[in-house]
Structure 1
Amino acid sequence: MFTDKVHIYLKGGDGGAGCMSFRREAHVPKGGPDGGDGGHGGNVILKADGSVSSLIEYRYKHHFKAERGTHGKGSRMHGARGEDLVLKVPIGTVVREYNEETKETGELIADLTHEGEQVVVAEGGMGGRGNIHFVTSTRRAPTFAELGEPAKEMWVELEMKLMADAALVGMPSVGKSSIIARISAARPKIADYPFTTLVPNLGVVRGDEYDFVVADVPGLIEGAHEGKGLGHEFLRHIERTAIIVHVIDMTGSYEGRDPVEDYHIINRELELYAKELADRPRIVVANKCDMPGIEGKLRELEAAVREDAIKAAGGNEYADSVAEAKVYRVSALTGMGIDSMVDALGSKVHELREAAKEAAASDVQYDQVWEHARSARDKRINVRKLSEGVFRVEGVQIERMVVQTDWENEEAMAFLQHRFDRLGLEKLLLKAGAVDGDEIRIVGRAFNFETSEHEDMFEELDI
């Protein structure tokens, strides 16, 4: 089964709790704090792997979770880090945020187009720090430690787009599957009725000089850019290819279609689906040229291809691109013209590969970009007024601080107050209109707001 779009839930491992402990040995009076740190939770990583050909593994299993970190212990014994969970996906997988409730996709996380490229999607929680970290000149024996941080969790959409050098496109039953079977070892289903091919087929072509990968994309129809037929499901696979091979049935198939009109219809569909596809390098292949009575249509098609090339060249009929705009006459049945088409296609693919090498040096490092964007987003603090005298504070970083605090420990609460001061939370609340005595909610906790003129900024409420 070919699966090219799935939605999965990912959760990193929770961080282990730090330890509150003091050194206890014979002949060592008043031993200092020695509580170890909790281990970090494991990350969930998506990694492009050439041995994976589809997303079928994620069709039925949708929830994945990394290992949690273990708790710290006394004698400065730190907890073990949770093991990362590495999920293999096909090369060419696009990863986006996904909202399971609204069924809408969000920001792009990564576009994994190279073997071994990976991105951390659900980061494991940080391990809580042991009490050895909270010693100061005035706090010689801290009696608190941090709890482990909950891991990040999210739904993502995985969308696979084929990674092929060339894509065979055209109307249904024009002979795309027959051509890929002729030029490669691929053995797609071939029959004389529309939509025989329901999923894209990949084949490796061994040319005299160059090898390349070609994709047989299921047939398109007029209106495919709007999703008619299976338009959207197939058109997205063309976005990856370096060159488009436009296959046309010169006999008009059993429907008696006009080959030149077919040529224009497919070109329009590609342009309407994605504007950049209109400028994608392409060659035109006239199939079934072994049949009699098609010479007139061949000349009309060649004229149409040349006319389009002149338009693309800004009216310069002597441009190199116009000279290259030829129609390759082939027959997938007899093999006529196949070798010359393969040689031309191989040369063009090689040329495009060489041109792409320079761009490859500046490829986006998604792990760094995504982490940078996520880190900036995590530090944001938003204060919302829920009702008169009630405010909610939101933000990944500040919520994490609240969750990691041991609420049964007064020293831990005082340390949290200090962290709030460093974040400038009081100024944000005052700017939002909070006054003394207002209720401030963070995650599942509620506090009475007191400005810094008072002894404590927050006094916890029972809710």
Structure 2
Amino acid sequence: MSQFTDLSRINVRGGDGGAGCMSFRREAFVPKGGPDGGDGGNGGSVIIQADAQLSSLIDYRFKHHFRAERGTHGQGARKHGRNGEDLVLRVPVGTIVRELDPQTMEPALDLADLTRDGERVVVAPGGTGGLGNTHFVTSVRRAPAFAQLGEPVDDHWIELEMKLMADAALVGMPSVGKSSLIAHMSAARPKIADYPFTTLVPNLGMVRAGEYSYVVADVPGLIEGASEGRGLGDQFLRHIERTALIMHVVDISGGLEGRDPVEDYRIINEELARYASELARRPQIVVANKCDASGMSERIERLKMAALADGRRFFAVSAATGANLSTLMLACGEEIQKLRRELVSEQHEPMEIQDDIWERRRRARERHFTVERESDNAFRVRGTLVERLVVQTEWDNEEALLYLQHRFSQLGVDAALEAAGCGAGDEVRIGARAFEFEGSEEPFEDARDRWEDADQAKDCAARGADLADDQGESMGSAEDDRANASRSRP
């Protein structure tokens, strides 16, 4: 576990959905009142939301398990269960949210990159409440004697990684004077001493120079091999990724070891390129510090030639005396303003649209399913939506099983099984259940024609993804109406 609070792993779980009710209206002088079972409430979701008031992930350093509230069961007389409360976890702006593989505990999927205040993503959706038996009435099934169970949900681990949101980053070897520079440029007061690795956590400072204002990050010193983790370099390098401008600070005196400044300059640039190739192309200003020392002219000229050869601006300054710092600060402000204009021209969608993008991606992942052969006559179907249908089915109710079979056909599961080589009599496994395959209700070619996305039609793993929102002939509009109604009821 990192000693910093810029990387945390937490276990999250949405609330279980409440069960739908199987009930019939019983009232004097109404012998055939019909079904009146209410829907179960949806479970609450765990939501990660960016908050500009936070600066670290310290809240998740010691507490690692978070649970949302479950939904309550439906009742007779069309009484719907109450939805569970969502659990909102706040993180600093600039936090990346990743899904972890349950076996290896390694990052498996990027869920969201929260770069704006208030931006949010659902990381543990609550279970869907089961539908009451009123939703399963058809012209031939007037008195359905079954309802859906509530969807149980599982816990899983996610990773939160905070990357500083700064306009510029001071980068360089240890003890080159980065902390002294940020102290002179801003109101930041980092620890300053004459030994390596004085700075162990990044510091932020607000710089005001003329008409410009921008945020500078003082990143702890890097050494050769930093991209591979030496000296905690990989943990420090992540904070450079979001900065628009790199201020590469070089100790022109060579320090106590008498290092060659040009060699230091090359080493740091190579480490940036190894960590992320895009960092090698990031706009960079080369800053030769400690130029007040005597006999530095030749070293300054050599480093200047190396920087200009790479197409980078060069400044010789002294953090101790303040020489040329005003010029450097103005130049950085000018460069950052130009980079901001370029960013505005490529501005992303409004936050509401961005939130909707994360949500649509999550739903698309839920609709996705795969079919794989586990043995000669056994096939496994994996997918959030199809597994949800299975766990919400009453397996001791024949009507409910017939309805489940019909839903699988509508979603393209049967057709995808046939395409994978599954035949009548083969075993199909979904979640903890197994059943015998009886064949598709429609030919595979006909099902494929109904899929609007050509890429999904070619891939059995995504078959039915664009049909999953349609909850059946008698259920499609009913679930949509119910979902809208459930948001407004307590």
Fold match (TM-score > 0.5): yes
The whole-number CA distance in structure 1 between the counterparts of 2:307 and 2:430 is 65
Q: Note if contact 1:46-1:121 (Cα within 8 Å) is conserved in structure 2.
A: yes
Q: Equivalences for 1:50-449 in 2 at 5 Å? A: 50-151=52-153, 153-309=155-311, 325-362=312-349, 367-449=355-437
The whole-number CA distance in structure 1 between the counterparts of 2:342 and 2:379 is 56
Q: Note if contact 1:110-1:366 (Cα within 8 Å) is conserved in structure 2.
A: no
The whole-number CA distance in structure 2 between the counterparts of 1:263 and 1:433 is 60
> C-alpha deviations, 1:220-256, integer Å up to 9, x for none?
1122222222221111111110111111112211111
Q: Note if contact 1:180-1:186 (Cα within 8 Å) is conserved in structure 2.
A: yes
The whole-number CA distance in structure 1 between the counterparts of 2:331 and 2:248 is 14
User: Which structure: larger Rg?
Assistant: 1
- Gaps in structure 1 of 5+ consecutive residues: 310-324, 454-463
The whole-number CA distance in structure 1 between the counterparts of 2:120 and 2:367 is 24
* Distance change in 2, residues 1:74/1:263 (3 Å): same
Amino acid in the other structure paired with 1:262:
D
| SS of 1:116 mapped into structure 2 | coil
What TM-score, normalized to structure 2?
A: 0.84
Amino acid in the other structure paired with 1:386:
E
Q: Tell me how far 1:103 sits from its aligned partner.
A: 2.7
Q: Tell me how far 1:422 sits from its aligned partner.
A: 2.5
The whole-number CA distance in structure 2 between the counterparts of 1:434 and 1:264 is 59
Percentage identity across aligned positions? 62
What TM-score, normalized to structure 1?
A: 0.88
| SS of 1:360 mapped into structure 2 | coil
* Distance change in 2, residues 1:51/1:79 (3 Å): same
RMSD across aligned positions (CA): 2.2
The whole-number CA distance in structure 1 between the counterparts of 2:334 and 2:416 is 62
* Distance change in 2, residues 1:412/1:206 (3 Å): same
153-162 or 110-119: bigger deviation: 153-162
Q: Note if contact 1:23-1:33 (Cα within 8 Å) is conserved in structure 2.
A: yes
Amino acid in the other structure paired with 2:301:
R
| SS of 2:26 mapped into structure 1 | coil
* Distance change in 2, residues 1:257/1:434 (3 Å): closer
* Distance change in 2, residues 1:268/1:386 (3 Å): closer
> C-alpha deviations, 1:16-38, integer Å up to 9, x for none?
11111222233433212111111
- Gaps in structure 2 of 5+ consecutive residues: 442-490
* Distance change in 2, residues 1:231/1:452 (3 Å): closer
| SS of 2:292 mapped into structure 1 | coil
